[in-house]
């Protein structure tokens, strides 16, 4: 900008005012030109620019121009790097700015302009009161002006007073030293009943001071603000000032968050008053939801942070009763009576998809859970049971009966430690009555509550004395048998199925009692048998009545009587059909043969009680299986050929419809697998060909890791293998390639960089990355990230392979190469704890079964794996992988070294002491299961070399620990004495703190399930000794020298010369 242009703009006030007006133009070109001219003027003549802005702020008749001037002045105080700012102004201009800005604030009558001016004052105050401008530190007139404007006894316009309070709130941290002087005038502003905006601003200022102040003596002057704020809230509500009331409630919540202890003297007034505001109101006319919610939130905030304080002032019982009443009204008020709610059989029973549950209802559920978590459990349980009992008898409004059931579902789980026999019976009675309610919505809520309580209180709720659990299951069965109608639509029946699933899943929960470590195995078996007998006593009477309606729905699904969807109506299931399959699956899980029978019969001879009960369960389930299995397979046959991605791509179905079809695939597959396990191998044998055909359709090699079908498909082999045993070989054709494929998938392991998770707005690559499928794991105190869906599928596949090895025995020998190829690389994935653990268990079993098959000659004569040479080759591969993990430092050969690299070429993490101990245990199992002539001399030498490294590491660590302990003791003695022999108290205190920290660390380590370094070293030492003992049992004197040298810690070179008895290249 030229000097002439500058002179024109600054020649008179009208020219500068015109420039500022043009920055407000609606025309983009005009506005941009004016902004550019202003920017150049500010950069070249900052003093003149600031002076003109001040003049225009004081004299312009346009409030928009004044507001813009305040914005530009604020930018002077917070300039960007390239802009002129406060530092570029001369002393006289700075003095004028401070003076005129306060004058402008005091004279401004327009509320938006006053707020912008107040923001400018705050920006300048932060700059001056923090001492950023060393030569012009402080602003002496500011506090004086604020006190004058805030004095409630002076005639100050409400706009000015509100703006002054905005300044106080914005500068609370900087005004700490004047906080006690400002407190009386701020509290006085809360009493200005004719100025609600001023009252809200005053409360905001109080909140900011509560945030800034720390010492009790600083906070004490603001104690009076709390009752004043409650009084102000009452007045604005009485005056109908709802927006001001909402703002006040928001600020009151912040006071409870900042300094809840200040509310203690006022609890008896504040909490009941707030709950009254949140309640149904006088004459059944409640306040708007926008006010009821923050009123309740204020109380819940206090109970979240200071529950004991609130309960001590009000009493646990009365407080719980008031809160439960308020929550129940929320739950009832938030329900919408939708006439079409029961008409759609495709409507999901999931409450998250129920649009008739309003926001207030969902907030009420949150309130109930928060209150139950924080308040006295006995008081909360008593209050909610009393409320449920009272409202359950109210036939005038179904919403009330629905509301108390939902409240019950949220509260009981948090109070389960006080739920005794009497409470269980009472809860069961309430639920049975609700399940028979004439209104469909109440029955839905009862089913929802049954499912939640079955999980929270299981298995005690289901197996309670007096038959309460049986009564609940009977009521659910009656509901499912009942014909469809307005009081029992399919939507309610689907929810009832979910409740039955929850009921059955809860039976699998532990009783919650800690087992005595000294308890003998027979007693544990007896306890398991007793529980199983109680489970069967509850379930068996309802097996047939439950199966009838469930199988009817499965048959309809198999016949294609699902949703009427063009191009796929035969496949789309209704929610009731989906959940009917789930109930059959859970029944099969609860009554399955084998697992409980095996547990019951530990240490028993002959046919004991467990065997008889197993037979009872099997006999009872067999008729159900005979009818259900063909229908479930019919559903699977109809759904199995469907391939979701192809169908969606072709436009045959939508993604939502495809997801429903995949769910029925998953449900039918799991149901078939678990029913087979429940019925036993004899009953399941006739269905194996059909299952094999279905698996052939489902096990597609192109299935994606994110497909919901993948994990159940891989996992279905476990129950089938458990049931069929060696006969599972008929399923390996279609299933084994998929298991091998996913067992060997790369999880894309990378070191986790925490900075990546923070995100960078400027990093387009980071913003495009999808982290929804990332799992964080830790190994050797280093965090890694990997693909979560792949890791889950890998885990499931390896788990299924382990089950096949365990249950098929020698029948898997023909597939030993394929299975070994899948599991051997897993030994090198020791950073994946669960996968590695399964591989460590499975491979020695696989080797043992295979060698047994070779020895028995059960492999086909033409099978190349039937030869001793093939067996030794497989053994060498396993041996090499195990010793490599024990002693990776010895990986010198080109054939072995690549095994230590990840698929991307990066180096694997070094195995920890714990991992090496695990692998030494595997080595011991291998030595125990093979013939001595199979191990070559060089293999044994390699193994002892690896063991020596582990042994030496343990010895070195122990010596180092002893030396460090000795040094620490000497240092403590030196530091504890001064030169004159006196005790150094400061050092002693420091040492005490260090000791305390160490104790905390030790405690944290003990609480964690992971091994400490010392425990891992001790376990490695024990495993090495055990492995040496295995070698000694196998070879006797042939390895005596090696064993002696290892345990005495001699050099590795000497060990390699220690094998003394060799015949035909084998260790004798």
How crowded is residue 749: how many other Cβ atoms within 10 Å of its Cβ?
22
Indicate if 944 and 1063 belong to the same structural domain: yes
Tokens 């060698």 identify what position?
851
What is the SS3 assignment for 2?
coil
Indicate if 849 and 945 belong to the same structural domain: no
Indicate if 839 and 946 belong to the same structural domain: no
d(CA 940, CA 927): 10
What pLDDT sits at residue 760? 47
Q: Can the peptide bond before residue 221 be classed as cis, meaning omega within 30 degrees of 0?
A: no
Indicate if 834 and 938 belong to the same structural domain: no
**Does 466 fall in a domain?**
no
What pLDDT sits at residue 980? 44
Question: Residue 485: phi, psi to the nearest 5?
Answer: -175, 180
β-pair partners for 936: 1066
**Does 81 fall in a domain?**
yes
**Does 222 fall in a domain?**
no
d(CA 580, CA 345): 14
Indicate if 272 and 133 belong to the same structural domain: no
Last residue of a domain, one of 402, 418, 434: 418
**Does 123 fall in a domain?**
yes
What pLDDT sits at residue 465? 86
For residue 988 the two structure tokens come to 């002693």
Indicate if 1058 and 934 belong to the same structural domain: yes
d(CA 518, CA 48): 89
Indicate if 785 and 922 belong to the same structural domain: no
What pLDDT sits at residue 989? 39
For residue 80 the two structure tokens come to 């960007």
Indicate if 411 and 273 belong to the same structural domain: yes
β-pair partners for 488: 485
Are 826 and 798 within 8 A, CB to CB?
Answer: yes
For residue 336 the two structure tokens come to 């919408």
**Does 233 fall in a domain?**
no
Q: Angle at which helices 63-77 and 46-59 pack, to 10 degrees?
A: 150
Give every CB contact of residue 51 below 8 A, 6+ residues apart in sequence: 93, 96
- What single DSSP character describes residue 760? -
What pLDDT sits at residue 1067? 43
**Does 796 fall in a domain?**
yes
Indicate if 1 and 134 belong to the same structural domain: yes
Range of the structural domain that residue 952 is part of: 915-977+984-993+1010-1068
Tokens 């409400």 identify what position?
158
d(CA 444, CA 451): 11
Q: Whole-prediction pTM value?
A: 0.83
Q: Angle at which helices 816-823 and 732-743 pack, to 10 degrees?
A: 20
**Does 562 fall in a domain?**
no
What separation in angstroms does the CA of 113 have from each of 58, 60, 63, 64, 118?
Answer: 11, 12, 6, 7, 9
Give every CB contact of residue 879 below 8 A, 6+ residues apart in sequence: 923, 926, 935, 939, 942, 943
- What single DSSP character describes residue 854? H
Indicate if 951 and 820 belong to the same structural domain: no
Indicate if 820 and 969 belong to the same structural domain: no
Are 873 and 854 within 8 A, CB to CB?
Answer: no
**Nearest to 817, CA basis, from 859, 775, 771:** 859
| 3-class secondary structure per residue, 778-806 | EECCEEEEEEHHHHHHHHHHHHHHHHHHH
Indicate if 727 and 849 belong to the same structural domain: yes
What pLDDT sits at residue 570? 56
d(CA 634, CA 1048): 68
d(CA 1043, CA 944): 8
Query: Which residues in 930-965 are b (16+ Cβ under 10 Å) and which e?
Result: bebebbbbebbbbbbbbbbbbbeebeebeeeeeeee
Tokens 């009123």 identify what position?
295
What pLDDT sits at residue 891? 63
Give every CB contact of residue 530 below 8 A, 6+ residues apart in sequence: none
Tokens 């990546």 identify what position?
756
1036 phi-psi bin (left φ>0, alpha ψ -120 to 50, beta other): left
For the domain that residue 116 is a member of, what is the CATH number?
1.25.10
Last residue of a domain, one of 418, 451, 482: 418
Last residue of a domain, one of 418, 444, 469: 418
**Nearest to 1016, CA basis, from 948, 924, 928, 950:** 950
Instruction: Domain count for the chain, please give it.
Output: 4
What pLDDT sits at residue 132? 41
1035 phi-psi bin (left φ>0, alpha ψ -120 to 50, beta other): alpha
d(CA 224, CA 183): 9
What pLDDT sits at residue 498? 98
**Does 673 fall in a domain?**
no
How crowded is residue 286: how many other Cβ atoms within 10 Å of its Cβ?
18
Q: What is the mean pLDDT of each run of 10 residues along the chain (1068 residues)?
A: 69 85 94 91 91 94 96 89 84 95 96 97 92 58 95 94 98 95 96 95 98 94 97 96 97 97 97 96 90 98 98 97 97 94 92 94 98 97 96 93 98 95 95 97 98 95 92 98 96 98 90 49 75 89 95 92 56 91 94 45 35 50 92 92 86 85 94 93 94 94 92 94 94 96 94 66 47 88 93 97 96 95 95 96 97 91 88 93 87 65 80 93 95 89 85 71 62 51 39 43 46 88 91 87 73 44 36
For residue 359 the two structure tokens come to 């926001």
């Amino acid at each position: 900008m030229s000097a002439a242009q500058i002179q024109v703009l600054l020649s008179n006030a009208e020219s500068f005012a015109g420039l500022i007006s043009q920055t407000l133009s609606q025309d983009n070109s005009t506005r941009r030109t004016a902004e550019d001219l202003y920017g150049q003027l500010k950069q070249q003549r900052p003093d003149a620019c600031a002076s003109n802005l001040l003049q225009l702020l004081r004299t312009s008749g346009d409030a928009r121009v004044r507001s813009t001037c305040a914005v530009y002045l604020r930018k002077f105080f917070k300039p960007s790097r390239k802009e002129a700012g406060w530092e570029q102004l001369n002393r006289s201009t700075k003095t004028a700015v401070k003076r005129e800005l306060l004058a402008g604030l005091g004279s401004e009558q327009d509320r938006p302009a006053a707020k912008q001016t107040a923001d400018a004052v705050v920006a300048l105050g932060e700059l001056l009161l923090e001492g950023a401008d060393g030569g012009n530190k402080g602003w002496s007139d500011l506090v004086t002006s604020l006190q004058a404007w805030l004095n409630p006894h002076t005639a100050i316009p409400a706009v000015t007073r509100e703006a002054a309070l905005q300044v106080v709130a914005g500068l609370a941290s900087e005004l700490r030293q004047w906080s006690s002087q400002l407190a009386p005038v701020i509290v006085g502003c809360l009493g200005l009943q004719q100025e609600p905006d001023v009252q809200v601003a005053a409360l905001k200022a109080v909140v900011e001071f509560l945030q800034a102040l720390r010492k009790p003596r600083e906070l004490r002057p603001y104690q009076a603000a709390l009752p004043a704020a409650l009084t102000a809230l009452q007045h604005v509500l009485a005056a109908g000032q709802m927006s001001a009331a909402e703002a006040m409630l928001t600020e009151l919540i912040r006071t409870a968050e900042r300094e809840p202890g200040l509310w203690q003297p006022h609890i008896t007034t504040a909490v009941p008053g707030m709950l009254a505001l949140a309640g149904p109101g006088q004459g059944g006319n409640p306040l708007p939801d926008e006010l009821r919610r923050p009123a309740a939130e204020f109380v819940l905030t206090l109970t979240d942070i200071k529950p004991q304080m609130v309960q001590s002032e009000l009493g646990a019982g009365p407080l719980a009763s008031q809160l439960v009443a308020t929550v129940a009204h929320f739950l009832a008020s938030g329900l919408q009576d939708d006439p079409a709610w029961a008409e759609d059989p495709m409507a999901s029973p999931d409450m998250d998809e129920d649009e008739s549950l309003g926001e207030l209802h969902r907030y009420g559920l949150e309130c109930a859970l928060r209150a139950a978590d924080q308040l006295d459990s006995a008081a909360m349980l008593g209050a909610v049971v009393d409320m449920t009992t009272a409202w359950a008898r109210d036939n005038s409004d179904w919403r009330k009966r629905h509301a108390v059931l939902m409240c019950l579902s949220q509260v009981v789980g948090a109070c389960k430690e006080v739920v005794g026999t009497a409470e269980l019976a009472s809860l069961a009675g309430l639920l049975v009555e609700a399940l028979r309610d004439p209104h469909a919505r109440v029955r839905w809520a009862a089913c929802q509550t049954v499912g939640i309580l079955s999980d929270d209180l299981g298995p005690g709720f289901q197996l309670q004395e007096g038959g309460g659990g049986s009564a609940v299951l009977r009521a659910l069965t009656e509901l499912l048998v009942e014909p469809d109608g307005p009081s029992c639509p399919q939507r309610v029946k689907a929810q009832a199925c979910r409740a039955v699933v929850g009921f059955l899943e809860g039976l699998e929960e532990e009783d919650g009692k800690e087992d005595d470590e000294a308890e003998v195995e027979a007693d544990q078996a007896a306890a398991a048998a007793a529980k199983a007998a109680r489970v069967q006593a509850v379930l068996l009477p309802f097996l047939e009545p439950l199966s009838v309606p469930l199988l009817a729905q499965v048959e309809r699904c198999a016949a294609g009587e699902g949703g009427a969807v063009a191009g796929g109506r035969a496949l789309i299931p209704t929610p009731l059909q989906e959940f009917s399959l789930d109930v059959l699956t859970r029944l099969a899980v609860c009554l399955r043969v084998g697992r409980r029978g095996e547990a019951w019969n530990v240490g028993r001879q002959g046919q004991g009680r467990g065997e008889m009960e197993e037979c009872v369960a099997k006999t009872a389930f067999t008729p159900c299986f005979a009818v259900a299995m063909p229908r479930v397979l019919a559903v699977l046959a109809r759904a199995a050929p469907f391939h979701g991605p192809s169908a969606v791509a072709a436009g045959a179905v939508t993604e939502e419809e495809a997801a429903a079809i995949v769910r029925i695939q998953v449900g039918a597959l799991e149901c078939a697998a678990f029913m087979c396990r429940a019925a036993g191998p004899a009953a399941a044998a006739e269905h194996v060909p059909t299952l094999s055909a279905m698996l052939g359709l489902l096990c597609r090699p192109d299935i994606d890791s994110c497909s919901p079908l993948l994990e159940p498909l891989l996992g279905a082999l476990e129950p089938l293998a458990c049931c069929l045993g060696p006969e599972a070989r008929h399923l390996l054709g279609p299933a084994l390639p998929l298991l091998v494929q996913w067992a060997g998938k790369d999880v894309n392991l990378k070191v986790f960089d925490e900075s990546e998770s923070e995100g960078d707005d400027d990093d387009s690559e980071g913003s495009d990355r999808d982290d929804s499928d990332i799992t964080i794991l830790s190994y050797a105190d280093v965090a890694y990230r990997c693909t979560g869906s792949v890791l889950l599928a890998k885990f499931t596949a390896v788990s299924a392979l382990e089950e096949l090895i365990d249950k098929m025995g020698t029948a898997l020998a023909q597939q030993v190469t394929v299975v070994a190829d899948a599991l051997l690389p897993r030994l090198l994935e020791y950073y994946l704890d669960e996968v590695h653990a399964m591989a460590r268990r499975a491979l020695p079993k696989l080797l043992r079964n295979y060698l047994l098959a070779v020895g028995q000659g059960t492999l086909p004569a033409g099978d190349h794996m039937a030869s001793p040479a093939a067996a030794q080759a497989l053994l060498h591969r396993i041996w090499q992988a195990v010793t490599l993990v024990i002693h990776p430092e010895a990986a010198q050969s080109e054939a072995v070294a690549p095994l230590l690299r990840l698929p991307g070429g990066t180096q694997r993490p070094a195995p920890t002491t714990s991992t090496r101990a695990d692998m030494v245990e595997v080595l011991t199992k291998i030595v125990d299961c093979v013939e001595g002539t199979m191990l070559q001399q060089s293999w044994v030498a390699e193994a002892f070399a690896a063991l020596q490294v582990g042994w030496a590491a343990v010895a070195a660590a122990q010596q180092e620990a002893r030396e460090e302990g000795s040094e620490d003791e000497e240092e403590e003695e030196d530091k504890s004495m001064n030169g004159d022999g006196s005790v150094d108290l400061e050092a002693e205190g420091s040492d005490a703190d260090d000791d305390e920290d160490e104790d905390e660390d030790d405690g944290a380590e003990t609480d964690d399930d992971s091994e400490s370094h010392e425990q891992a070293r001790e376990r490695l030492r024990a495993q090495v000794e055990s492995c040496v003992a295995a070698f000694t049992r196998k070879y006797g004197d042939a390895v005596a020298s090696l064993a002696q040298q290892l345990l005495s810690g001699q050099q590795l070179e000497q060990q390699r010369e220690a094998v003394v008895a060799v015949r035909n290249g084998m260790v004798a």
